Structure 1
Amino acid sequence: MLEEEYQQRRRLPRHLKPAPEPEPEFSFTLRDAVTADLPAVREIYNHYVANSTVTFDEQPWTLKGLKQKFAHLQKLGYPFLVAESPRGQLLGFAYVYPWKEKAAYRYTVENSIYLAPAATGRGLGKAMLGELLERAADAGVREVVAVIADQGAEGSIRLHESFGFTQTGSMGRVGFKFDRWLGIVLMQKSLRRRR
């Protein structure tokens, strides 16, 4: 900084100091995931594997395994969405997956939503879940099950409740991660096919 600039700034009375620049508005686009998104999807998910109990996975996802899951969902016609910032950064992902592999469960799925840590608490989860449910209904899904950790995922429970999910059960001490026992909350929502 030039000395005269410093002197000018130093002399400004407090009431004349420039206001701080406002933070840029948080914006995003929701779109279908493509194979090129999978490394960023894996990075977001693996953050939660390593740092939280919102997933009971203890081993990070591999890119190979994620590509297989993605291909399976595409074959089934199930939605797999990503949220992208205006600069092209992946902010989160959401998908539905068959609840069980037995044929009688074919209209029931489990949903998953994961956000990049910097994107939480800004309305993105709500936007993603709404879009995911609409697309799942279009794909012929009738029932959506959410399996949520009973500790550390209170925000997820509130989010699902806001979309009409109801708690249908709970199971205590079914997971063991980070040297402690964890349970799950089961929530469910019926979908009606849009016309």
Structure 2
Amino acid sequence: MSKFHLNIQELVQGEFILNKVNIAFVFQVNCPGCFIYGIPLINNLYQSFHNDVGFIGVATAFEDFEYNNEVNLKLLLGDGKLVGATKNYYIINYELSNYSEKIKFPVAFDRITTSEHLINSDKIELICNALPNFPNFSKTEKEILVAKIKSHYVEMPLIAETFTLNQLRGTPSFIIFDDEYTILGQHFGHINEDILKRRLEHFLG
């Protein structure tokens, strides 16, 4: 089964305690949907399950690095300050420039690396192994795919490792994993809170 690669730069708020069942909430500060749906959902789950489930929020960046950065994450956690498209959404719809909901769960910032470092490391193999059926490819097919992946990432000046190594589709993303970092389930985009709640209860047994 696939492993969840949690490569964080710094734990900015709280303490992540690995448990038998854990959930990672991957978001961007410049992602209105992460604030409208994702944060309230994880806050509610944290309140209900924090004694039994490990929680970690991972602020990442796959675009808009001028907004999606550690400085703006700290301003969000400290003062509720919003930026970019998220700020515009709350000003237009609620006449608010700050986020009124307190983020209760532990939060880290994704580890940011350069394309040169990524393509010259063993992390390329981790990216390949996150792709469906990669182990079944022939040697030639694997070599072609590795070359394509390196060519793709060499064009990116900055790369967020947790987001990239797990080949996440976007934000918000929710990953449930065990104490050996084996992925038990994952979801991208808006998801009903009751669905995630039932999944946590199932894995808790």
TM range (shorter): under 0.3
Superposition TM-score, scaled by structure 2 size: 0.22
Higher strand share: 1
Higher helix share: 2
Superposition TM-score, scaled by structure 1 size: 0.23
**Larger Cα-atom Rg:** 1
